[in-house]
């Protein structure tokens, strides 16, 4: 069984990015970039399935600029076998990414695609769903447990009311939630080994995918500053504040 794991290069989750002065987006120049945290979870799950002997190969793919190679090397240091880099502009939209992934699914014929549930740069939460729609495959989003047996994936999904259990016929698309696992740190020997693993570079245009953006960013703004909290001493003080200071909408 082959597993394909798409990994996105995003601004590191520890960094608070600034909005560009012209409000056209977020300033990313010079910032530390890392693998999207949910994609680390997806890679970890795929590698565990290979270690258990359920999967035979884990292929990682990133769509973006040349530097996304570093993200692919990290995924291979965690245990992925090989990588595909599809060159395109900085941050392609989910539909374009899903179309590229569909072409790679045709080329690679995986039995399972495990994505992150969302990329933390723009929180789209759309690529996995769109890919499953384009392929006509079964899908399970927000997954916190995966068991593979008899050509089916039995999964737990995190939903508002608790957990939902689904049994999907393979091939399928799964998106990883936070509680699926705790990703490993790449060890130094594995980082060295990953340097020798192959990265195949392709162009989005060669795959025949139109990457033209369909979304237009009108403006990006910093969130409004929250007012400081006040601790009250007593219930009567609270009631007094509610009466006199609270704004009734
Ligand atoms: P999104 O729909 O943008 O929130 O992204 C959901 C998931 O799709 C991510 O966690 C990745 O697994 C995958 N993905 C999105 N964009 C890319 C990209 N440019 N390259 C590789 N994978 C991506």
List, for residues 19-64, the tens digit of each pLDDT value: 999 988 899 889 999 999 999 999 999 999 999 999 999 999 999 9
| Residue 96: band (very low, low, confident or very high) from pLDDT cuts 50, 70, 90 | very high
Range of the domain at 89: 2-223
CB-CB contact of 197 with 57 (8 Å): no
For residue range 219-234, list pLDDT tens digits in order.
999 888 877 888 999 9
Q: Residues with beta carbon inside 6 Å of ligand 1? A: 6-8, 36, 38-39, 62-64, 92, 94, 97, 115-116, 118-119, 124-128
Ligand 1 centroid – CA 69 distance (Å): 15
In 3D, which of 135, 94, 91 has the Cα closest to residue 113?
Answer: 135
Q: What is the CATH number of the domain that holds 42?
A: 3.40.50.620
Tell which atom from ligand 1 comes closest to the C-alpha of 38: 10
Structural domain contains residue 235: no
Strands (E) located in the chain: 2-6, 9-11, 33-35, 57-64, 82-87, 112-116, 138-149, 152-159, 162-169, 172-176, 199-203
Distances (CA, A) of 187 to 5, 44, 79, 241: 20, 14, 10, 56
Tell which atom from ligand 1 comes closest to the C-alpha of 115: 12
| Residue 117: band (very low, low, confident or very high) from pLDDT cuts 50, 70, 90 | very high
Number of domains in the chain: 1
Structural domain contains residue 248: no
Structural domain contains residue 212: yes
What backbone phi and psi angles, to 5 degrees, belong to 70? -60, -40
Structural domain contains residue 17: yes
For residue range 176-224, list pLDDT tens digits in order.
999 999 999 999 999 999 999 999 999 998 899 989 889 998 999 988 8
Mutate to test the pocket of ligand 1, among 11, 36, 38 (most ligand atoms within 8 A of CB): 36
Ligand 1 centroid – CA 59 distance (Å): 15
Mean pLDDT score, 98-118: 98
Structural domain contains residue 218: yes
Structural domain contains residue 87: yes
């Amino acid at each position: 069984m082959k597993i394909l794991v798409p990994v996105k290069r995003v601004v590191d989750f520890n960094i608070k990015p600034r909005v560009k002065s012209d409000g056209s987006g977020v300033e990313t120049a010079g910032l530390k970039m890392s693998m999207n945290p949910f994609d680390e979870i997806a890679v970890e799950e795929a590698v565990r399935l290979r270690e258990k002997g359920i999967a035979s190969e884990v292929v990682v793919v990133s769509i973006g600029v040349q530097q996304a190679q570093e993200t692919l090397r990290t995924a291979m240091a965690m245990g992925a076998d090989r990588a595909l880099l599809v060159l395109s502009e900085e941050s392609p939209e989910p539909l374009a990414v899903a179309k590229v992934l569909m072409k790679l699914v045709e080329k690679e014929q995986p039995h399972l695609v495990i994505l992150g549930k969302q990329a933390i740069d723009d929180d789209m939460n759309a690529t996995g769903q769109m890919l499953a729609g384009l392929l006509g495959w079964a899908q399970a989003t927000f997954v916190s447990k995966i068991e593979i047996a008899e050509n089916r994936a039995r999964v737990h999904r995190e939903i508002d009311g608790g957990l939902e259990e689904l049994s999907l016929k393979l091939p399928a698309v799964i998106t990883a939630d936070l509680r699926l696992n705790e990703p490993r740190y790449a060890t130094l020997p594995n980082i060295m080994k990953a340097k020798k693993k192959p990265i195949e570079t392709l162009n989005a245009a060669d795959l025949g995918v139109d990457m033209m953006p369909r979304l237009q960013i009108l403006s990006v703004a910093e969130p409004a500053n929250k007012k400081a909290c006040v601790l009250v001493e007593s219930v009567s003080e609270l009631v007094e504040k509610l009466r006199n200071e609270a704004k009734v909408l």
